[in-house]
Copies of this chain bind each other. A is one copy, B any other.
C-alpha cells in the first residue's frame, strides 16, 4: 500500500465507475454536476490493524485507527466526496476519487443540503 493514494482533499484524479446491471435503476436522477458521497470497500486493507502512525509518518505517535482515515481498519470502508462529470452508458465519470483501480464501490449517496450549506 506504499503507493496508495491519500485523502481526497489533497487532490485526486478523475475516475470511471462502472455499475453492475442489477443496481443501475438506483442511479435514476443522478446528473452531471451532482455532488455525491461514494463508499468504497478498501479490499487491500489489513483488517487486523487497530493502531497506526497517522498517515504513515513514524515520527508521529501511534493512534487508534478510528482517529484516522487509514485504509487499515476492521471494516475498511472509504468515503469519497466527488462531483459527477459525465455518463457513458453504465459508467459514471467523477472527479477527485482517491482509490486504487478496481476498488469496489459499495454505496452512492447524495451530499445533504445541510452539509452543502455548512460550507
Residues of A in contact with B (beta carbons under 8 Å apart): 7, 9, 23, 25-30, 34, 36-37, 39, 50-51, 62-69, 73-75, 77, 79, 106-110, 112, 114-115, 118-119
- A7–B29 Cα distance when bound, in Å, is 20
Q: Are B26 and A66 in contact (CB under 8 A)?
A: yes
Q: How many copies does the complex hold?
A: 2
The contact of A119 among B62, B75, B108, B118, by CB within 8 Å, is: B118
A67 touches B106 (CB 8 A): no
* A29–B106 CB distance below 8 A: no
Interchain CA distance A66-B65 in the complex, whole Å: 28
| Residues of B contacting A26 in the complex (Cβ-Cβ under 8 angstroms) | 50-51, 64-66, 73-74
Interface of A is mostly: mixed
Q: List 25 A-B contacts (CB under 8 A).
A: A9-B115, A23-B50, A25-B51, A26-B50, A26-B51, A26-B66, A28-B51, A28-B63, A28-B64, A28-B67, A29-B63, A29-B64, A30-B67, A34-B67, A36-B66, A37-B79, A39-B75, A66-B107, A66-B109, A66-B110, A73-B107, A77-B106, A79-B109, A118-B118, A118-B119
Q: Which residues of B contact A110 (CB under 8 A)?
A: 66-69
